[in-house]
Amino acid sequence: MTLAGKKIILGVTGSIAAYKAVFLLRRLIEEGADVTVVMTRYATNFVAPLTFQVLSKKPVYSGMFDPDQGKDIIHLYLNRGADVILVAPATANIIGKMANGIADDLLSTMLIAARCPVILAPAMDYEMYENPVVQKNISYLRNLKIDFVGPETGLLASGDTGPGRMSEPDDIITFLEDKLGIKGDLSGHTVLITAGPTREAIDPVRYISSRSSGKMGYAIAEAAKSRGAKVILITGPASLTIPQGIEAINVITAEEMLDAVMNRLSDSTVLIMTAAVSDFRPAEKAISKIKKGEAINLKLIKTPDILEEVCKKKGNQFVVGFAAETEDLITNAKEKLRIKHLDMIVANNVSLPGAGFEKDTNIVTLIDKEGKIKEYPEMPKSDVADMILDNVISKINKGYNG
């Protein structure tokens, strides 16, 4: 919720990229912003105002002289108290109007009257974007300290490739946060998280796995992202939606998870290993389906211990492991912390009703490498995620250096 309490005017102009403004609005709302949408008349041809109204839970403004606007001078009233006006998509037309002082509709009038920062996210075909007049307008506005985010070079609505593609909503949000001076406490960190189960094939239709749903790891990924971290989520098969704005790497087996973690280890500053990795795999995978018979003997061999391998190779990353236990919680967790050379371990008794696999809550005990133990009550996994990150960042701020 990095934008909580921020009042944002989202201006939407008449470009096909107006559909992306819907996703942008959703992300702004998710981050806690108070958003008022102002659309140009042409924008309403691309997306119905009702879409923005439902998502923002507020009226959408378009006209200067709508009869139901009462006694307020609408363009001044809407601008009052705004932290930023963000125009996304911004067409060549709105850029041109702003650069030349033209105020002939609600949005262009608000831009001329603005007393807050203005950010424009251009979207147009490359032929328009490269036009010298458009370029002159952009440089003129840049000189006046108007900010531009994008455009990107890529596939355009015309089917051509070139500059003019509106920046992605997450990139616009990052730009906005920088502009507003918002830095989460994990900003500058890259958090690598393993989540979910792994699967080890017995034959083409059967596998060995665990009951992990991935909920704990995904909750940490989401919390770390909203606290400003870059997040790499290495996930085994889980039926959860990848949170917005994070890089996800999908893996199936323990070997694949180990490779993925090793590949990205040097990019990270914090590692949080929530995955319930399958500890064994069949010594051989049958190429065709094993037919049912009386009984079969499966020879199982050990999979690599990812956390142990990582801790042998790591630099000064802060490493958090999990311990899924059903008995002797503290003793077993302390032993894992010691053997795997962790900085912190999150122990949970997975047999308790409010804890462990597939649940939305967890009951955990945190143990650090100095042996300090903190017990927590049953909490939603999203709160457990923030609590773990609070502890990690407090250790890092106290001068942890691997």
Which residue's CB is nearer to ligand CTP, number 134 or number 323? 323
Q: Give the nearest distance from C-beta 197 to ligand CTP in angstroms.
A: 10
| Residue with tokens 């439902």, as numbered in its chain | 54
Q: Give the nearest distance from C-beta 315 to ligand CTP in angstroms.
A: 18
Positions 372 through 391 that interact with ligand CTP (CB under 6 A): none
Distance CA 302, CA 189 (A): 33
Which residue's CB is nearer to ligand CTP, number 99 or number 323? 323
Is 336 a binding residue for ligand CTP by CB under 6 A? The answer is: yes
Q: Is 163 exposed, middle or buried, given 0-12, 13-18 or 19+ CB atoms closer than 10 A?
A: middle
The pattern of x and - marking residues 210 through 249 that bind ligand CTP according to CB under 6 A reads ----------------------------------------
Q: Give the nearest distance from C-beta 392 to ligand CTP in angstroms.
A: 14
Q: Give the nearest distance from C-beta 277 to ligand CTP in angstroms.
A: 4
Q: Give the nearest distance from C-beta 191 to ligand CTP in angstroms.
A: 14
Which residue's CB is nearer to ligand CTP, number 38 or number 277? 277
Q: Give the nearest distance from C-beta 186 to ligand CTP in angstroms.
A: 20
Strand, helix or coil at 144?
coil
The pattern of x and - marking residues 172 through 211 that bind ligand CTP according to CB under 6 A reads ----------------------x-----------------
69-80 per-residue burial string, b: 16 or more CB within 10 A, e: under 16: beeeebbeebbe
Contacts of 353 (CB under 8 A, 6+ apart): none
Is 254 a binding residue for ligand CTP by CB under 6 A? The answer is: yes
Q: What is the DSSP letter of 276?
A: B
Q: Which residue is nearest to ligand CTP (CB)?
A: 306
Q: Give the nearest distance from C-beta 55 to ligand CTP in angstroms.
A: 37
Cis bond before residue 59 (omega within 30° of 0)? no
- What φ, ψ does residue 389 adopt, rounded to 5°? -65, -35
Smallest CA-to-CA distance from 200 within 253, 136, 121, 148 is with 253
Positions 269 through 328 that interact with ligand CTP (CB under 6 A): 273, 275-277, 279, 303, 305-307, 321-324
Interface size with ligand CTP, residues (CB under 6 A):
16
Which residue's CB is nearer to ligand CTP, number 137 or number 278? 278
Smallest CA-to-CA distance from 265 within 340, 190, 370 is with 190
Which residue's CB is nearer to ligand CTP, number 82 or number 385? 385
Q: Give the nearest distance from C-beta 177 to ligand CTP in angstroms.
A: 31
Measure Cα distances from 167 to 102, 270, 309, 322, 402 in Å: 26, 28, 39, 38, 37
Which residue's CB is nearer to ligand CTP, number 86 or number 307? 307
Contacts of 304 (CB under 8 A, 6+ apart): 254, 255, 258
- What φ, ψ does residue 30 adopt, rounded to 5°? -55, -35
Distance CA 142, CA 146 (A): 5
Smallest CA-to-CA distance from 258 within 285, 281, 230 is with 281
Is 38 a binding residue for ligand CTP by CB under 6 A? The answer is: no
Binding site for ligand CTP (CB under 6 A): 194, 254, 273, 275-277, 279, 303, 305-307, 321-324, 336
